[in-house]
Amino acid sequence: MTTIHGQVAGNRRRLAQAARHASIVAISHAHARSFGPIPVTAVIHHGIDLDIHKAGPGTGGYLLFTGRMSPDKGVHRAVRVARRAGWPLVISAKIREPAERAYFEEQVRPLLGPDDDMLAEQPLAVQVDLMGHAAALLNPITWPEPFGLVMVEALAAATPVLTFPHGAAPEIIDHGRTGYLCRGEDQMTAAVARVHQISRRQCRAAAEQRFSLAQMAADYDRLYRAILEHPGRPAPERTGTGAV
């Protein structure tokens, strides 16, 4: 069995060969759809350690962006949204590669105001604390991300997520319940004013019910048993927390 975590484009021939000998697992239904004719045995969402990623109070008085310093992640859009909404933004980003530094200098730094904080990559404990005290996570992705672990980490922290409906985002965020799926910066800016309507308790509950390590392990256990009990049979129906 092989779990594919990255994009399928450019790897179709190799994946098609692998699918002849192994069961293929995708990490979201959006991810599975990108495989085209390559058979996907199961969809199993990621799980995280909820004893480490604890719920927070959301009392920090800021919005948060965390992730790679990349146009695909939409950092410059997050800055514009926070500025228009009248909220300070804390950015905790990976910024090591030349392309990441160039993007920051050219498109992000000129937008930053005196109330915005640009942090280097933080230790896990600090990152968990930042997430738990944020009023909301801004995640204006512009690409079909196969999963989006940062959104699950936000839910575990009881922090609502404002994101664009690309890739797996609609499978992770329940619009109006654990965050908002926004079509463009205008909608995301307007959604900031409605963040207080999202129950942080519901965000945490979603993480506990759908994205725990125990849930992920149970999904894999179920799949292993199905494969072992019926070797050589066609692929079973897709399983996992996002099953259809």
DSSP one-letter string for 205-227: HHHHHHSBHHHHHHHHHHHHHHH
Q: What pLDDT, on a 0 to 100 scale, did the predictor assign at position 19? A: 78
Q: What pLDDT, on a 0 to 100 scale, did the predictor assign at position 23? A: 87
Question: How much of the chain, in percent, has pLDDT values that exceed 70?
Answer: 94
Q: What residue has token string 């192994």?
A: 22
Q: Does the predicted TM-score (pTM) go above 0.85?
A: yes
Integer Cα distance of 206 and 152 in angstroms: 9
Q: What pLDDT, on a 0 to 100 scale, did the predictor assign at position 231? A: 66
Q: Which domains does the chain have, with CATH numbers?
A: 2-47+212-229 (no CATH), 63-209 (3.40.50.2000)
Average pLDDT for 166-175 = 97
Q: What pLDDT, on a 0 to 100 scale, did the predictor assign at position 228? A: 87
Residues 6 or more apart from 131 whose CB is under 8 A from it?
Answer: 53, 56, 64, 66, 137, 153, 154, 157, 159
Q: What residue has token string 């594919």?
A: 4
Q: What pLDDT, on a 0 to 100 scale, did the predictor assign at position 17? A: 78
Lowest mean pLDDT among 105-109, 116-120, 187-191: 116-120
Q: What pLDDT, on a 0 to 100 scale, did the predictor assign at position 232? A: 59
Q: What residue has token string 């894999």?
A: 220
State pLDDT tens for residues 141-163: 999 999 999 999 999 999 999 99
Q: What pLDDT, on a 0 to 100 scale, did the predictor assign at position 121? A: 81
Mean pLDDT of the chain: 91
State pLDDT tens for residues 189-220: 999 999 999 999 999 999 999 999 999 999 99
* DSSP code for 49: -
Q: What pLDDT, on a 0 to 100 scale, did the predictor assign at position 122? A: 87
Residue 179 · residue 198 · CB < 8 Å: yes
Residues 6 or more apart from 139 whose CB is under 8 A from it?
Answer: 65, 67, 73, 74, 78, 148, 150, 151, 154, 161, 162, 163, 164, 169
Backbone angles phi, psi at 86, to 5 degrees: 80, 25
State pLDDT tens for residues 61-102: 999 999 999 999 999 999 999 999 999 999 999 999 999 999
How far does Cα 18 stand from its chain's mean position?
27
